Chains A and B, each alone.
Chain A
Amino acid sequence: MGKQRSMLVVIVGLAIAAVVIILQLPTQLGLDLRGGSQLTLQVLPSEQITQISQRDLEAVQRVIENRVNGLGVSEAIVQSSGQDQLLIQLPGVSDPAQAQRVLGGTAQLEFRPQMPGTEGQLEAVAEIVGQQQQRQAALLAVGSNGLSEEQTAELESLTTDLQASRETLMEFFEPSELTGDKLTDAIAQPRNIGGTAWEVAITFNNEGADMFSEMTRNIAGTGRTLGIFLDDQLISAPTVDVAYAATGIPGGSAVISGSFDTETARDLEVQLRGGALPVPVEVVENRTVGATLGRDSIQRSLYAGMAGLTLVLIFMAVYYRLPGILADIALVVYALLTWAAYNILGVTMTLPGIAGFILSIGMAVDANVLIFERTREELRAGRTLYRSVESGFYRAFSSILDSNVTTMIACAALFWFGAGLVKGFALTLAVGVAVSLFTAFTCTRNLLFFVISFPQFRKVGYFAPSLDDDLPSNSQPSQP
C-alpha cells in the first residue's frame, strides 16, 4: 500500500499548509461581521446626461473617491456596481450621517483665480496641506487594526485640521462663475509624440471660453495661479504664461502642463471630467452594523454551527463505525482546506458566507454517506471488504458528481445575479463543494484503504455492524 501511504503524506502536508495559511493570512471579514457602513450610491441621469456611460461612471467614481478620502476612514473601498451604481464600504463607521451628507450630491468643480497679494501665504498653506495629506494617507494605509490609540486620535484630529487648512486655502481664491458645467471635455495626452511628459487638455463651451480668457488675462504673468477646486479641494493650480497677458487664453481650450506622467495626467483628467458631469448622486441604500453587534452575531452563529457539526461528527462515528471515524478525520481536513481556500482566494466572510460554509460541510458529509451506504450494500451482497470499499467509491461517484454539479448551477445563478451578501453565500458554498469533491475522493478513500491494509481492521463488523442480522432477511441483494 505504498501509494496510499504517499497520498496520505500529501494530504497531511496539505492540512499543515492549510493551518499555516489560516494563521498567516487573516480571514477577511465583511462589514456585517466587523461593523461598519455600506452605502450604495445611485448616479442619477439628468437632462444633459440621460444615459450613464462606463466613462461617466468612472469619472463619478473618482469624484466619490475624493470625497471618501476626505472622510478619513481607513480601508474604505469604492467600487462600481452595475451600470450606474457605486458601492462604498466604510469599515468601523457606525454613524454614517456625515458620510451620507458628504457623499451625495452633484460634483462641484470650480475654476477660481488667486487673489492678488496672497502668493507667499498660498505657498505656505499649500505645503501644510500637502504634508497633512501625506500623513493622512500614511496613517490610512496602515489600516484600522494596525493603528495605536494615539495614532487613531491623530488621524481624527488630522482629518479636522486638513479640512480647516483646505478652507484657508480656498480663501486665497476669488469665487467665480466658471464652474464644471461649462467644461466640455478633459483629455490626458503625451506632450510630444513618443515623449514621457504628459499634459491635460481642457475645453470649455462658448460661455466658459469667454470667462476663461478673461480670467487667464488677469493672472497671466503675475505668478498667481488658477485654482481648480473639486468639491472644495484644490486638485490643480496652474499658472498662466505671460504671453497671454494681453488677450487671455483664447478659444476656450488650454493645456495644463507640469510634471505630469501618464498616471497623474490620467488622474487629473478623470477628476476634471467627473467634476464637469452634471449628474447628481444619491445615497439609495445604507446598511450599518455596530462593531459589537457584528461580533455578537458572528460568535453566536459560529458556536451554533460548531455545536451542530460536532453532533454530525458523533453521528457519523456511531452509525458508520470505522469508516465514519475516518470520514470525520477527512471532514476536519476538509474544513481546514476550505477555510484556507477562502483566505487564499480573498473571499470576504459575511454572515451568509458562514452559512454557506456550514452547508458545504453538509455536502461533504453527504458524499461520504453515499459512499458508505454503497459499501454496506456491497458487503451485504457478499463481496469481500476490499472489493466492497472499492465499488462503494466507484458506484457512488456518478451520484456525487450529479448532485454537486446541480448545487454548483444554483451557486452560479446566485453569483451572477445576486448582490453583496448573496454573492458571498454563493461563493463560499461553491468553493466548499469543489473542495468536498476533492476530499471525498482522495482523503476518505486513501485513509480507508490505508486502514484496511492492516489485518486487525479488516473486520466486517467495523463497517456494517448490523450485517449479521441483516444478511439472512435481505432478500434483495443489490446486484449480481
Chain B
Amino acid sequence: MKLNVVKQRGLWWIVSGLLISVSIAAMALSWTQFNGPVKPGLDFIGGTRLQLERSCVDEAACTNPIDIVEIREILDNQGLEGSSLQLVGAGGQAISIRARTLDVDEQTSLRSALTENIGQIDTTASKIDVVGPTIGRQLLVAGLLSLIVAFAGITVYLSFRFKFDYAVLALLALLHDVVITLGVFSILGLTLGYEADSLFIVALLTIVGFSVNDTVVIYDRIRENFKLMPDKSVEQVVNNAVNQTLGRSINTTMTTVLPLLAIVLFGGDTLKFFALALIVGFLAGAYSSIFIASTLLAWWRSGPSATAEDMAAPAAE
C-alpha cells in the first residue's frame, strides 16, 4: 500500500474543511444557547452539584425507587426552582441535583428536607461540589492561559528544532484538532447535555501535546529525506515520509486509543468523557498529521523559491 497524499490533497482538505465548518457551526449554536463554545459546566460558571445516595443498611428503606416528583417539590419549597434533577444509580436509590451556588445554611436545610423524604443518606457514597462564581472564572482563565502558553512553547521549540514555517504549519494542524474536538463536544453538549469541566481543558492540552507528536515525527522524516535525497521533488519527499511513518502513526494511535477506549466503556463516570475527548482529539490528530500537516508543507514549499537545501537547512539532530 502506498498513499499519494500530496496528489489527493484536495480531498483531505475538503474533509477537514467540512469537519471544521460543522464544528464552528456547532460552537456558534452552542454560544447562542450556553454562552460558550461548549456548554460550560459547574467548574466554570459556579453552582452546586449534590449526588446523594439513600442508605440501604435497613433494606426495607430501599424497596421503592426515590420519588422524583416529591424531590422536585422539595426543591421548589427550598427556592430552587429550575434546578436540574436526575435519578441515578441502580434501582433509583440515588439522586443528582444541580443548582446555583448554595451557602452552608442553604445546603444544610436542603439536606435535612431531603433526609426527611428519602430517609438516611449514605454519606460515604455521596458527592458534593460547590463552586463559587469567582473560582469558576479563575479555573477558566487558568485553563485558557495554559493552552496559550503550551501553543507558544511548542511553536518556539519547533522553530528552534525545525524552521519557523514548519512550526506554524504544525500549529495549524494542532488548531485543526482542537477545533474538531471542541466541535464534537459542543454537539454532545447540545444533544446529550454534556457539560465541560476542568478535565476537558486537561484533555485539550493533552491533545495538543500528543497530536503535535505525530506531526513532529512526520516532519522529522521529511527533513531527513530532504537531506538524503536532495534531487527529489518536494512532492516525492513528502509522500515518502508519510508512507515511511504510516505504520508508526497508525500503531501508536491505536495503542494509545485502546486503553482510553477501555476507560470509556468500563471506567468510572468521572473519566468517561475525559477519555472520549482524548480519543476524538487523538484520531483528529493522527488524521491531521498524515493528511493535513504534510500536504500543507508540500504546498507551502513547492513554490519556486523553496529549494531542497532550504528545507533541510536546520541541522539540529
- A residues sitting closer than 8 Å to B (CB atoms) are 32, 35, 37, 40, 42, 94-97, 100-101, 104, 282-293, 296-298, 300-301, 303-305, 307-309, 311-312, 315-316, 319, 351-352, 354-355, 358-359, 361-362, 365-366, 369-370, 373, 376-377, 395, 398-399, 402-403, 405-407, 409-414, 416-419, 421-422, 425, 429, 476, 478-480
Task: Take A97-B104, A413-B205, A416-B146 as given contacts and tell me if A362 and B128 are in contact as well, using a CB distance cutoff of 8 Å.
Answer: no
28 A/B residue pairs, CB under 8 Å, sorted by A: A96-B128, A100-B107, A285-B132, A287-B128, A288-B127, A293-B51, A301-B268, A301-B270, A304-B267, A307-B262, A352-B202, A354-B271, A355-B271, A359-B206, A365-B256, A366-B252, A369-B248, A370-B252, A398-B317, A405-B157, A406-B216, A413-B153, A416-B146, A418-B142, A418-B146, A419-B139, A422-B198, A422-B202
Q: Which of A101, A352, A406, A478 contacts B154 (CB 8 A)?
A: A406
Instruction: Please report the C-alpha to C-alpha distance between residue A292 and residue B51 in the assembled complex, in whole angstroms.
Output: 13
Residue B125, interface by CB 8 Å: yes
How many residues of chain B get a CB closer than 8 Å to chain A's CBs? 81
Majority secondary structure, A binding face: helix
State whether A97 touches B107 (Cβ < 8 A): yes
State whether B263 touches A304 (Cβ < 8 A): yes
Instruction: Please report the C-alpha to C-alpha distance between residue A292 and residue B125 in the assembled complex, in whole angstroms.
Output: 5
CB distance from A86 to the nearest CB of B (A): 13
Q: Which of chain A's residues have a CB closer than 8 A to the CB of B301?
A: none
State whether A308 touches B124 (Cβ < 8 A): no
Instruction: Please report the C-alpha to C-alpha distance between residue A292 and residue B57 in the assembled complex, in whole angstroms.
Output: 14
Most buried by A among B130, B208, B212, B245: B130
Task: Take A407-B209, A417-B149 as given contacts and tell me if A283 and B265 are in contact as well, using a CB distance cutoff of 8 Å.
Answer: no
Nearest to B214 among chain A residues (CB) is A403
CB distance from A116 to the nearest CB of B (A): 40
Most buried by B among A359, A403, A409, A480: A409
State whether B146 touches A311 (Cβ < 8 A): no
State whether A297 touches B268 (Cβ < 8 A): yes
CB distance from B139 to the nearest CB of A (A): 6
Nearest to A97 among chain B residues (CB) is B108
Residue B275, interface by CB 8 Å: yes
Instruction: Please report the C-alpha to C-alpha distance between residue A304 and residue B268 in the assembled complex, in whole angstroms.
Output: 9
State whether B130 touches A286 (Cβ < 8 A): yes
State whether A100 touches B104 (Cβ < 8 A): yes
CB distance from A80 to the nearest CB of B (A): 15
**Contacting residues of chain B (32-91) with chain A, CB-CB under 8 angstroms:** 51, 53
State whether A307 touches B201 (Cβ < 8 A): no
Instruction: Please report the C-alpha to C-alpha distance between residue A377 and residue B263 in the assembled complex, in whole angstroms.
Output: 34
CB distance from B204 to the nearest CB of A (A): 10
- B residues sitting closer than 8 Å to A (CB atoms) are 2, 51, 53, 104, 107-108, 111, 122-132, 134-135, 138-139, 142-143, 145-147, 149-150, 153-154, 157-158, 161, 198-199, 201-202, 205-206, 208-210, 212-213, 216-217, 220-221, 224-225, 228-229, 240, 243-245, 247-248, 251-252, 254-256, 258-263, 265-271, 274-275, 278, 317
State whether A403 touches B124 (Cβ < 8 A): no
Q: Which of chain B's residues have a CB closer than 8 A to the CB of A355?
A: 263, 271, 274-275
Q: Which of A292, A351, A425 contacts B268 (CB 8 A)?
A: A351
Task: Take A304-B267, A406-B212, A418-B143 as given contacts and tell me if A290 and B256 are in contact as well, using a CB distance cutoff of 8 Å.
Answer: no
Task: Take A406-B212, A417-B145 as given contacts and tell me if A366 and B135 are in contact as well, using a CB distance cutoff of 8 Å.
Answer: no
Q: Which of chain A's residues have a CB closer than 8 A to the CB of B275?
A: 355
State whether B205 touches A94 (Cβ < 8 A): no
Closest 3 CB pairs between A and B? A308-B259, A410-B209, A297-B268
Q: Which of chain B's residues have a CB closer than 8 A to the CB of A293?
A: 51, 124-127
State whether B104 touches A365 (Cβ < 8 A): no
Q: Which of A96, A315, A373, A414 contacts B248 (CB 8 A)?
A: A373
Instruction: Please report the C-alpha to C-alpha distance between residue A94 and residue B224 in the assembled complex, in whole angstroms.
Output: 58
State whether B202 touches A304 (Cβ < 8 A): no
CB distance from B59 to the nearest CB of A (A): 17
CB distance from A367 to the nearest CB of B (A): 9
CB distance from A349 to the nearest CB of B (A): 13
CB distance from A241 to the nearest CB of B (A): 45
Instruction: Please report the C-alpha to C-alpha distance between residue A175 and residue B145 in the assembled complex, in whole angstroms.
Output: 51
State whether B202 touches A300 (Cβ < 8 A): no
CB distance from A149 to the nearest CB of B (A): 16
State whether B266 touches A304 (Cβ < 8 A): yes
Task: Take A315-B254, A352-B274, A418-B202 as given contacts and tell me if A406 and B108 are in contact as well, using a CB distance cutoff of 8 Å.
Answer: no
Task: Take A312-B259, A355-B271, A478-B244 as given contacts and tell me if A422 and B201 are in contact as well, using a CB distance cutoff of 8 Å.
Answer: yes
CB distance from A272 to the nearest CB of B (A): 28
Q: Which of B134, B158, B217, B251 contacts A42 (CB 8 A)?
A: B134
Most buried by A among B158, B244, B251, B259: B259
Given contacts A370-B252, A403-B212, 5 further A-B contacts (CB under 8 A): A287-B130, A304-B262, A358-B263, A362-B259, A417-B142
State whether B258 touches A311 (Cβ < 8 A): yes
Instruction: Please report the C-alpha to C-alpha distance between residue A373 and residue B251 in the assembled complex, in whole angstroms.
Output: 10
Task: Take A97-B107, A292-B125, A403-B217 as given contacts and tell me if A305 and B263 are in contact as well, using a CB distance cutoff of 8 Å.
Answer: yes
State whether B127 touches A366 (Cβ < 8 A): no
Q: Which of chain A's residues have a CB closer than 8 A to the CB of B134?
A: 42, 284
Nearest to B147 among chain A residues (CB) is A413
Q: Which of chain A's residues have a CB closer than 8 A to the CB of B243?
A: 476
CB distance from B286 to the nearest CB of A (A): 12
Q: Which of chain A's residues have a CB closer than 8 A to the CB of B220?
A: 398-399, 402
Most buried by A among B126, B145, B261: B126
CB distance from B55 to the nearest CB of A (A): 11
Q: Which of B107, B157, B266, B274 contacts A307 (CB 8 A)?
A: B266
CB distance from B224 to the nearest CB of A (A): 8
Q: Which of chain A's residues have a CB closer than 8 A to the CB of B124?
A: 35, 94, 290-293
Task: Take A352-B202, A410-B206 as given contacts and tell me if A290 and B263 are in contact as well, using a CB distance cutoff of 8 Å.
Answer: no
Q: Which of chain A's residues have a CB closer than 8 A to the CB of B245?
A: 373
Instruction: Please report the C-alpha to C-alpha distance between residue A32 and residue B111 in the assembled complex, in whole angstroms.
Output: 22
CB distance from A112 to the nearest CB of B (A): 28
Q: Which of chain B's residues have a CB closer than 8 A to the CB of A35?
A: 124
CB distance from B120 to the nearest CB of A (A): 12
Q: Which of chain A's residues have a CB closer than 8 A to the CB of B127?
A: 288-290, 293
Instruction: Please report the C-alpha to C-alpha distance between residue A102 and residue B139 in the assembled complex, in whole angstroms.
Output: 26
Q: Which of chain A's residues have a CB closer than 8 A to the CB of B269?
A: 297
Q: Which of B129, B146, B255 contacts A312 (CB 8 A)?
A: B255
CB distance from B211 to the nearest CB of A (A): 10
Task: Take A287-B128, A366-B252, A410-B209 as given contacts and tell me if A308 and B262 are in contact as well, using a CB distance cutoff of 8 Å.
Answer: yes
CB distance from A264 to the nearest CB of B (A): 34
State whether A476 touches B267 (Cβ < 8 A): no
